[in-house]
Amino acid sequence: ACSEPCSRSHPCGHQPLHSCHSWPECPPCSVLTSTFCFGAHELRKAVPCHMGEFSCGRACGRALPCGHKCNRLCHADACNAAGPCTQACTVPRQSVCDHPCGAPCHPDRPCPTNQPCQTKVQVTCECGRRVVTRTCSENSSEYNRIATSLLAAKMADVRAGKSVDTSDVALAASRMSLKTLECNDECKLQERNLRLAIGLQIVNPDLSSKLNPRYSESMKQWAKKDRRFCEMVHDKLT
């Protein structure tokens, strides 16, 4: 070996940056290059030639035959090299709700119809004070119970000889599809406080069921003068 630069050719085509040597193979090429990651998400500069492509750590994002996007981290091999897609199916259900199917990807089979919908939904009571998160299937069961109760009430009116319009059963039930909780005592107290606030023209009232309405001094004096009248007004408002 001499002190002259190495004259061997490299597969990459770059000129060697090292000196003449007697080793069977040249050291890795250290020429700095600009290189894309495996998925072409990112271009990095000053990357040593011998390092080649790299993983940027982002989600691959390539389109899969099933319609999903590959969610593996940036990779060099084929997207399906790790196995078939297992992402949740996004096809809307055709039964009770229109939430996504949710079953593991099944491009060659129809969506299963016997699996309850596990999508989380927020349901409230009629006044909206109570809010609970439950699965769509659980709420659907409660919704069906309410619709059945409404229909049963209509049928009872029919047996009693009353004129009944059943067209509003489906409409009423649909309005309650996400209002399947029952109002409790606190809801009733809040509604009472609201009626009092409206009747007494209280601006920005605190409707908390744990608080009693606040009366002005003039209202208290009026109650002392004419207690019976004030009690009558209170009873009408509550």
pLDDT per residue over 15-71, tens digit each? 888 888 888 888 888 888 889 999 999 999 888 888 888 899 999 999 999 999 999
Q: What is the pTM of this model?
A: 0.53
Condensed to tens digits (0 to 9), the pLDDT of residues 160-173 reads 877 766 665 555 55
Percent of the chain with pLDDT over 70: 86
Residue 237, pLDDT above cutoff 70: no
CA-to-CA separations, 42 to 63, 78, 80, 127, 146, in angstroms, rounded: 18, 19, 22, 52, 55
Task: Read off the tokens for 232.
Answer: 């009558």
Quote the CA–CA distance of 51 and 75 in Å, as a whole number. Answer: 15
The alpha carbon of 165 is separated from its chain's Cα centroid by a whole number of angstroms, namely 38
Quote the CA–CA distance of 172 and 127 in Å, as a whole number. Answer: 15
Q: Helix, strand, or coil here: 126?
A: coil
Q: Helix, strand, or coil here: 139?
A: helix
Helices (H), 59-180: 136-159, 167-175
Q: Is the torsion defined by CA of 145, 150, 156, 159 positive or negative?
A: negative
